[in-house]
Structures are given as C-alpha cells and as structure tokens.
Amino acid sequence: MKPDEDLTARLRPGCICKGIRLHRIIEAIDQGAASFGEIAGKTGIGGGGCKGRRCGEKVKELLRRKENMDQQQPQAGITRLVTGGYRVNTYIVSCPETKQGIIIDPGGEAEKILAAIAALGVRIRYIFNTHGHADHIVANTELRQALDAPVCVHEADADFFTRPEVRAAAKRELGLEAPAGVDVRLKDGDSIPVGRLAVRVLHTPGHTPGSCCFLVGGDLFTGDTLFVGDVGRTDLTGGSLELLLRSVKEKILPLPPETTIRPGHDYGETPTSTLAWEMKENPYITDFILAAE
C-alpha cells in the first residue's frame, strides 16, 4: 500500500498523532497487521493513543482498503440496462475469468435482460435486489425460473415479499404488484463469491428498512440509497431520512474515494459518479453529513 497523501491531508489536526504516524501504520498493515491490536503491537501506537480518535477512523479505512486489495478481484464486467416503467438501472455484473455473474435489480422487461445475458455468455448465479420495492424486483420471478438462480434480498426487506399488509401498502404507493418469493435473506457484512468476484453486502437502511448497497471490487451498487447528486426518497412506508444519512455516513463514506457509484436510477447529470465527487457535490453529504461533523 502506498502512503496516501490524500488520506494524510484529510487527517484532522485534532488527532493525537497529527497524522505523523500514519506511515508507520501503513507499514504495519503492509506487514500483515489486520486489526487495531496488531497495529498497536507492531508500532507501539494506537492502543491508548489514536484508538477511537479521528486517526482511528482513518486506520479503519486503510484496513478496509487493504482487505479489498487482498481479495485481488479481477475487474468485474458491468452492463447496465434501463428496465420497466420506473426506468430502473438493472446491472449484469460478471467475473471475466469464469463468466459467472449476477443480476442486480431486474426492474421488468425480462426478455431484454435475458437477451443481454445470452449475448454476454454469462451464467447467472444469483439475482440480487438492493431493496424490496416492486420497481426493482418486477422481473424476479421470470428470471428466477428462466435462469434457475436464487433471489437474494436483505432480511429486513423480506416483508415486501411476504407480509400482506406491507405488500398492500407498497402496491398502493408504487402502483405496482411486487412478485413474492425470497430464497436468500442477506445480512450486513455477507460476502458472496461469484467466480473470482466477491459481492459484499452493506446494509444501508433509510430508503427502506432492508435497503442494501452491494460492493464488488471498486464498484458500489447503491439502489435507491444514493443517487448521483441526490439520495433516495424516505417518505414511503418504512423510510427514514435520519437513518439514510447515518447509513451513508457509516457505510459509504469510509469506502475509498475512487469507488464508482452506480445508482438504481439515472436521476443525475451522469449515470455514474465517484464517491469523491459525491463528497464534494452531493448536498445531502456536504450539508447534512460533513457540515455536521
């Protein structure tokens, strides 16, 4: 790992080590330290010093980066299709070496999705839903049958598939009937191998209770949690702006700034952005999260 100037610059002067020790911390991580305890053991710092202070956050970030680099995933193949009446971004994400892949948020037009999969020559292992809203899951049933792939959604959004009163409220609000049926109930921190890729589940409640972002290498699929320059609405059943902002702060902002943001709808000026751009331009992040720090 290279000492990260950007990271060093972002260390707050209020931290006990003023960032001076960052290079030693990076060295320790490079030598295999994988926790605060081990870093403290190797460097003699951290334990009672930086731990829990602002540098602590940065060390966490470095450890996460290292974890991503260690996985040495190949660059995923990513195809975006716009599907259904709500114009959802449906992604086909695949491992270039094994040609195994996943679908994220099939928002309708199953035929079109199947044609794209056939053209790519990808074998679909799973269907992932970023959340349980009907517009993101309309084609679940058809694709699950056609591809023999299990449907995966966070356990907290399984209600959209199973509980009649939640299904009724969602149908009223979205004007769409959601298909029933969940095969895999995801939890925060799950890491699901797909060929040589790993799909990491970040539970980011707020838009819905079980909203998730999926991290594949340096690409983050954010569903309706984070859009380019915007965040998802929180006025529907189970939504909470406070929770959404906390999710963005705790789960998304610690990711590397070069992470590519791939949202569930193309509502911004461009279909994708980077986390660094969002941290500068997204008013929800600049005004409600960073300004409050």
Query: Closer to Zn ion at the Cβ: 208 or 282?
Result: 208
Whose Cβ is closer to Zn ion: residue 197's or residue 244's?
Answer: 244
CA angle 28, 34, 37 (to 5 degrees): 80
Coil, helix or strand at residue 192: strand
For residues 64 and 34, the answer to whether their CB atoms sit within 8 Å is no
Give least dist CB 224 to Zn ion, A. Answer: 4
Nearer to Zn ion, 19 or 239 (CB): 239
The alpha carbon of 258 is separated from its chain's Cα centroid by a whole number of angstroms, namely 14
Least distance in angstroms from the C-beta of 73 to Zn ion: 27
Q: Which stretch binds Zn ion (CB under 5 A): 29-37, 194-202, 218-226, 275-283?
A: 218-226
- Span 111-170, contacts to Zn ion by CB under 5 A: 133, 135
Q: Residue 212 Cβ, how far from Zn ion at the closest point, in Å? A: 12
In the complex with Zn ion, which residue's Cβ is closer, 135 or 190? 135
Q: Does 262 bind Zn ion (CB under 5 A)?
A: no
Judged by beta carbon, residue 94 or residue 211, the one nearer Zn ion is 211
| Apex 270 CA angle, 243 and 127, nearest 5 | 60
Q: Which CA distances in Å does 40 have to 24, 108, 155, 226, 259? A: 10, 51, 37, 35, 28
Which CB sits closer to Zn ion, 109 or 135? 135
DSSP secondary structure letters along 82-147: EETTTTEEEEEEE-TTT-EEEEE---S-HHHHHHHHHHHTPEEEEEE-SS--HHHHTTHHHHHHHH
Q: Write the interaction track for Zn ion spanning residues 220-259; mark x where CB under 5 A is met and - where it is not.
A: ----x-----------------------------------
* Closest distance to Zn ion from the beta carbon of 164 (Å): 20
Q: Which is nearer to Zn ion, 244 or 289 (CB)?
A: 244
Tell me whether residue 43 or residue 90 sits nearer to Zn ion (CB atom). Answer: 90
Total residues at the site for Zn ion (CB under 5 A)?
3
Report the distance separating Cα 165 and Cα 171, nearest Å.
10
Q: How far is the CB of 232 from Zn ion (least distance, A)?
A: 6
Task: Choose the stretch contacting Zn ion; rule: CB under 5 A; options: 47-55, 194-202, 216-224, 237-245.
Answer: 216-224
CA distance 59 to 56: 5
Residue number, nearest CB to Zn ion: 133
Task: Tell me the torsion sign for CA atoms 268, 273, 277, 279.
Answer: positive
Provide, rounded to whole angstroms, the least separation between the CB of residue 133 and Zn ion: 3
Min separation Cβ 239 and Zn ion, Å:
9
- Give the full edge-to-edge strand order of the sheet including 191-194: 191-194, 197-203, 212-216, 219-223, 260-263, 273-274
- Under a CB-based contact definition with an 8 Å cutoff, are residues 217 and 227 in contact? no
CB 120 within 8 A of CB 76: no
Smallest gap from residue 264 Cβ to Zn ion (A): 5
CB atoms within 10 A of CB 172: 9
Residues in touch with Zn ion (CB under 5 A)? 133, 135, 224
